[in-house]
């Protein structure tokens, strides 16, 4: 499920990671829909386009799943009355940012499958690079698809494998052996909660516990929100099965040597919430480190260090702590600009930046400002923010980026576009500086990334072109992907 954003750099829009997943099994038999709701609310930053919840009663008749999903934010799709009707002690939830496939309710998750062995509810975060081939294989054996997302391909393969497997978890494991790419899966069968993580560990997945209930979630912040305690991370290549009889069972049949693992570094740079921990590493501490490294490697004399909200704030604080230059707030973010905001017309597109973000003139007037952001993809909005600082009276504007320059696309779930659309492609840092209008420009050095992640193996493909597995030779979004329509949709959204 990969997508391409036509203009990443709209402030507060940022790079996109497509989904957040959440699952819970309450062994005491209590309803879990409201817990899933609050868990998804904590994961809202991972996807704002659609969301859904599916629950069932393990003591009730097999095959009965109550599900509801829709377009919009979690608090727009669900209300108290809807949640009250969703009875069940096991369930999964999902928040989505649109990827391969249209932005429609049909493509929202979780997916619910009714098949000869019963039912499955599945939520998926990630992107498969062999989805097109897997889909064709299924189509040629009679499968009829209801969506255009690769998550349905996974669900079909699990259902198919279940016909020849003794258990649901064995079917999940067998299906995962066919998948190439990035995935974190949460699957609810009638009596089991199952989680799976790809062998490279691209996407995060953790286990939590609250009283007599167990939780699977994309990030630890979702555990905190519902009052659960962190148990451990699902390890790369692991399939975990949660039941009242046996607690947490583990299968490492697809594990790789640890040095071959390849976590997405952008979880630490941008995607994850700063109060989350991923594979034992604090996201907040990683961003503080990135800022400190920038101050060490790209120092400059200035009066104020500030971050572009929200992702630049922690790195800006790190820069300040290392350099001794005061940290301050220079931007005011309009927290009420949601997906229903009326978009400016194309003729007034420039104003859309200031609708979301405004500069505190009193904070920057007459000062030399260091502005920290997480990345520059196309550069168009970096140009606008630099100009806004100057118009507010900043004497100098020095831009520091808490990631290296993007030089290659991503095939594993981050919407980094084709090389030709990347500002760093075939340009020097000095040329980029001139384009965005900064007095100086510095990026995080590539060798600092491993230090940011405390030595964990990471994927650096979007910076180096060296991917942990062979990238696809054609557009992995497949024939069902309408590139022109998707471009138009993203352009419209970015005018927000």
Which of the residues are catalytic? 19
Place of tokens 């007459």: 366
Cα 424 to Cα 54: distance, rounded to the nearest angstrom: 43
208 strand-pairing partners: 215, 230
Distant-in-sequence, close-in-space partners of 484: CB < 8 Å, separation ≥ 6: none
3-class SS of residue 95: strand
From residue 204, alpha-carbon distances to 43, 122, 186, 194, 331 in Å are 12, 16, 12, 15, 31
Q: Which of 46, 56, 87, 53 is nearest to 67 (CA)?
A: 53
Buried b vs exposed e over 110-135: b needs ≥16 C-beta within 10 Å? Answer: bbbbeeebbbbbbbbbbbbbbbbebb
Cα 147 to Cα 153: distance, rounded to the nearest angstrom: 9
Cα 367 to Cα 439: distance, rounded to the nearest angstrom: 13
- With beta carbons less than 8 A apart as the criterion, state whether 442 and 433 touch: no
Handedness of CA 384, 387, 392, 395 (dihedral sign): positive
- Residue 78 structure tokens: 């669900």
Sheet hosting strand 247-251, strand order edge to edge = 111-115, 118-128, 181-189, 192-197, 239-243, 247-251
3-class SS of residue 146: coil
3-class SS of residue 62: coil
User: DSSP assignment, residue 482?
Assistant: -
Q: Which of 409, 411, 401, 413 is nearest to 446 (CA)?
A: 401
Residue 153: HSE in the Cβ half-sphere, 13 Å Cα cutoff: 27
């Amino acid at each position: 499920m990969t997508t391409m954003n036509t203009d990443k750099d709209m402030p507060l829009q940022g790079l996109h990671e497509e989904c957040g997943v959440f699952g819970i099994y309450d062994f005491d038999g209590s309803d879990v829909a409201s817990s899933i709701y609050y868990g998804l609310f904590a994961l809202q930053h991972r996807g704002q386009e659609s969301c859904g919840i599916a629950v069932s009663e393990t003591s009730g008749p097999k095959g009965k799943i109550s599900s509801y999903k829709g377009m919009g934010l979690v608090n727009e799709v669900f209300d108290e009355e809807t949640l009250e009707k969703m009875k069940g002690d096991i369930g999964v939830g999902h928040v989505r940012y649109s990827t391969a496939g249209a932005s429609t309710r049909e493509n929202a998750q979780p997916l619910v499958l009714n098949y000869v062995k019963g039912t499955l509810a599945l939520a998926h975060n990630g992107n498969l690079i062999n989805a097109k081939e897997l889909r064709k294989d299924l189509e040629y054996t009679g499968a009829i698809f209801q969506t255009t997302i690769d998550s349905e391909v996974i669900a079909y393969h699990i259902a198919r494998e279940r016909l020849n497997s003794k258990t649901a978890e064995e079917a999940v494991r067998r299906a995962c052996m066919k998948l190439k790419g990035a995935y974190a899966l949460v699957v609810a069968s009638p009596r089991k909660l199952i989680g799976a993580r790809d062998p490279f560990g691209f996407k995060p997945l953790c286990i939590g516990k609250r009283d007599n209930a167990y939780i699977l979630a994309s990030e630890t912040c979702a555990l905190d929100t519902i009052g659960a305690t962190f148990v451990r991370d699902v390890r790369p290549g692991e399939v975990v099965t949660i039941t009242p009889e046996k607690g947490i069972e583990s299968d490492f049949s697809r594990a790789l040597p640890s040095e071959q693992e390849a976590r997405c570094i952008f979880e630490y740079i941008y995607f994850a919430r700063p109060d989350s921990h991923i594979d034992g590493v604090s996201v907040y501490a990683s961003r503080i480190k990135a800022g400190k490294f920038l101050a060490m490697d790209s120092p400059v004399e200035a009066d104020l260090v500030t971050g572009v909200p929200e992702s630049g704030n922690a790195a800006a604080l790190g820069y300040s702590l290392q350099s001794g230059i005061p940290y301050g707030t220079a931007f005011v973010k309009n927290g009420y600009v949601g997906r229903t905001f009326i978009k400016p017309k194309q003729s007034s597109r420039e104003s859309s930046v200031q609708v979301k973000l405004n500069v505190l003139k009193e904070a920057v007037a007459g000062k030399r400002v260091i502005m920290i952001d997480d990345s520059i993809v196309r550069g168009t909005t970096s140009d606008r923010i630099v100009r806004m600082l100057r118009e507010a009276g900043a004497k100098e504007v020095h831009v520091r980026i808490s990631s290296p320059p993007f030089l290659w696309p991503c095939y594993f779930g981050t919407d980094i576009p084709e090389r030709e659309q990347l500002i760093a492609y075939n340009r020097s840092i000095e040329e980029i500086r001139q384009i965005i209008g900064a007095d100086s420009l510095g990026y995080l050095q590539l060798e600092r990334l491993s230090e940011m992640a405390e030595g964990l193996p990471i994927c650096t493909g979007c910076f180096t072109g060296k991917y942990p597995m062979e990238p696809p030779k054609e557009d992995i979004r497949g024939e069902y992907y309408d590139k022109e329509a998707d471009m138009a949709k993203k352009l419209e959204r970015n005018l927000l």
